[in-house]
Chains A and B, each alone.
Chain A
């Protein structure tokens, strides 16, 4: 059975700091997705990673995929308050538990 694991599950950061969220999965797949969810809202797509070594960047967020290690990372650079949200990774229609990110001034 496919398992998708994220860590950490909770992350409190100060503005301006860097951090990485990790997503491990248990099956062979060359596609991985990152979504963002604001409190009380729906999910919106952040990144679509479609092959080994794929790297996507949007503003202060950068996502990468290593299919051999079955690992994706979401790197946050110089965090700002607007990045506070829950981030999910997903593989083959299965989602991780989510990482709740809080960025403090």
Chain B
């Protein structure tokens, strides 16, 4: 059971380059999200999706794009990388955030991005 899979695990970019962080889950979860983790700041929500074709902004969306064409995949695109985007990125999923579902998040292993 793979759970939430993120690729790549490590990436170094130069300022201005673009790239995509991949996230896939095999649990048929409706809800998927991207967080960044910086020292002393916990996890900050970048974008999230409540189902295929539906995405919304979180706390820190600037500089990032997302799409959700399938239930399984939720890629995060950096359009023009900046040193301020150096961080550890986590993808997380949940069956649903509302109703009778617990909303418990399942996390990927993380992607460490360095922008020079």
Contact = CB atoms under 8 A, between A and B. Distances in A.
Contacts, number: 47
Interface residues of A, number: 20
Main secondary structure on B side of the interface with A:
loop
A70 interface: no
Given A31-B103, A94-B45, A42 B109 contact: yes
A21 B91 CA distance: 26
B102 interface: yes
Interface of A: 4, 9, 31, 33, 35, 41-45, 48, 50, 88, 90, 93-98
Contacts of A35: 105
B43 interface: yes
Nearest to A89: B42
Given A42-B110, A93-B58, A94-B59, A48 B40 contact: no
